[in-house]
Every structure is written in C-alpha cells, then in structure tokens.
Amino acid sequence: MTELADVRFLTVAEVADIMRVSKMTVYRLVHSGELPAVRFGRSYRVPETAVSAALHRPIADVG
C-alpha cells in the first residue's frame, strides 16, 4: 500500500488544467464519485494517481 506521505494531492484548478476541463467539471466528477477526492476545510484535493487513472479510462463504450 502506498504511504500517505508518498501521495501527491492536486487542487481542483490543477486537475482542471491537466484534464483540460473547467473547474466546475472537476467538481461534478468529484461529487458524482467518478473522481475520488479528499476535503480539506472548504476545498478539495485530488490524488494525482486518480487523475492519471481518469485520463486513461475510456470515455465512451463504442460498439
């Protein structure tokens, strides 16, 4: 298991830049459960590994 100290957390704005979507889209993904996140006070942080996994996931089931 990965140590918590080894996990890099990204802000919603950083995730939006990486995924090339709006911050609102990131919030929607977090609230729907498609993108795991941890709440720190009033803001969310997303594990970098979750962003990488989301980018490699197929968007649509074709065929």
Here the CATH number for the domain that contains residue 47 is 3.90.105
* Beta pairing partners, 38: 45
Amino acid identity, residue 37?
A
Domain count, the chain: 1
Per-residue pLDDT of the chain (63 residues; tens, 9 = 90+): 556 678 899 999 999 999 999 999 999 999 999 999 999 999 999 999 999 999 998 776 666
Owning domain of residue 14:
4-56
- Asked if residue 63 belongs to a domain, the reply is no
State which H helix or E strand residue 28 sits in: helix 23-32
| 62 belongs to a structural domain | no
**Whole-number pLDDT of residue 45:** 97
What is the model's pLDDT at position 7? Answer: 85
Q: How many CB atoms lie within 10 A of CB 60?
A: 5
Residue 20 in domain? yes
